Structure formats: C-alpha cells, structure tokens
Amino acid sequence: MTVGTEFRDVVRPTDCLRPPGPPEDFTSPIDTLNAAGDLVSPSFWMSKVLDFALALDPLEEGRKYFAGDWEAYARSAEAWANLAGFCEGLATNIESGNHLLGGAWQGEAAAAADVYFASLCGKLRAIKGSLETMHTEYLVAAHGVSMTGEAVAQLMGLIGDAAATAAIAWAAGGLTAWTGWGAGVGYGLAATEILRICDLWGEVTKTVNMLQMRIDAVYGQLADIGAELAGVLDGFPQPPSRPYSCPAAGDGGSGHG
C-alpha cells in the first residue's frame, strides 16, 4: 500500500460547523420582565404611587437595563464551541497524516515537514483552547443576564404588590378622610408600602449593578483572549520556503530523502 492511498481523515471537522441552536437554560430577560409587567398594572392610583415613590416607571427602566439581543449572545457561545471542535478535528487529521507520512518518508525534507505539521497542530490546539474559553465566558454572561432578569422580575412583582396595596390604602384614606382616623390609617399604610417599594427598587439596582460587574469581568477576559489569539495567529507556522514533496507519493516531487 502506498503512502498516498493511506491518507484518510479520521474525523470530519466540518461536522462541527453547524449553526448554533436555541440556547439551553436561557430565558430572555425582556420576556421575563414583560411577564412581570402584568403584575405592575398601570392603573391611575398605582401610577401615582410609583411616580411618588421612585419618580420613574420601574418596568420601563428594567427593560432599559436588559436592552439587546442576549439570546443571540447565548447562541454565540455555541458557535465558539463549534469552532473549537473544528480546530481539534483539523489538528487530529493533520496529526494522523503526519504520522503515516513519517513511516514512509525519511530525510531532511521529511524532518522539516514533521516539524511544520507538528507546529501547525500545536497552534490549532492553542486556538481551540482560546475558543473554548470564549465559549465559557459567553455562557457566563448570557446565563448571568438570564438569571438576573428572573430575579429582577420577581422584585418587580413585589413592587407591583406593594404599589397595589399602597394605591388601595391611599384611595381609602381619601375616601374616609372625613372620619379623621380613616385618613391616618389609610395614608399610614400607604407610606409604609411606599418605603417598601423604595427598598425593593434598591434591591433591583443592586442586583443589576452586580450583573454589570460580572459582564465587565467577562469583557476583560475576552480582551485578554483576543490578545492571545492575535499572538497565536501572528506566529502561525508557514511552510518552508523551499518546496518539497514526498517521493514515496510517486508524484516526482522535489523533496529529497
């Protein structure tokens, strides 16, 4: 059997180059907040309470925090993993071919080819490692956004409950103002719920700030990985300047054993 007939791919790297599917364990924070919006009714009295307590629309502000297509960000994580698998498959095939070539080809040209292909495999696996790290970092960011969106939605629900209670108490205080004590009880309960709304909104901003710190850390990691990849690509091995081929392949190449 000649060397040429033995060269076959042991894996199919292109099988890894598939479009990313829907991300697992990910819920769009915007969808979650929209669902929570059903609990924050825009009724007149609730709007008055929220405007008095926070001077903003908490649901609309929450949507601003999570603006962007985070689901696409989560899908990108799978794309990086697929590219990493492609690099590993390519390196595996080159390694296999280099091993077969080394069994039938000796000499200076063969040694140079062996060094080149071994170096090429090393670079491909270095790129694979960087892509796998990018996959992990993108997942950290996407899942962090998803989980934070769920936590903020729960807090929005509590804000809605408190606003509803305060609105009812406020309205009741106005209706029973003629009794004297009715106004005190109604407005007192409304004030208590307004303070609770302020505390809950503080939890929302704290939760979002923690997410921002996590995203900033991910961006820092990605910047480092980008620098590493640039270094790997800058030092990518080039074929020797003097062309050569394997004499055993029977193609009349210029390589010398």
Q: What residue has token string 């069994």?
A: 103
The predicted pLDDT at position 45 comes to 56
Q: Cβ atoms within 10 A of the Cβ of 27, count?
A: 18
The predicted pLDDT at position 248 comes to 54
CA distance 221 to 215: 10
pTM score, two decimals?
0.74
The predicted pLDDT at position 179 comes to 45
- The segments of the chain whose pLDDT lies below 70 read 1-6, 36-45, 170-189, 240-257
User: Per the structure block, which two tokens stand in for 198?
Assistant: 């302020």
Contacts of 189-193 spanning 24+ positions with Cβ under 8 A: 189/165, 190/49, 190/166, 193/49, 193/162, 193/163, 193/165, 193/166, 193/169
What's the half-sphere exposure (Cβ side, CA atoms, 13 Å) at 65? 27
The predicted pLDDT at position 102 comes to 77
Q: What residue has token string 């009715």?
A: 182
Comparing C-alpha atoms, which of 146, 131, 132, 137 is closest to residue 70? 146
Comparing C-alpha atoms, which of 159, 246, 240 is closest to residue 197? 159
User: Under a CB-based contact definition with an 8 Å cutoff, are residues 101 and 110 in contact?
Assistant: yes
CA distance 190 to 79: 51
pLDDT tens sequence across 133-186 = 999 999 999 989 989 999 998 998 888 888 888 877 766 555 444 344 444 444
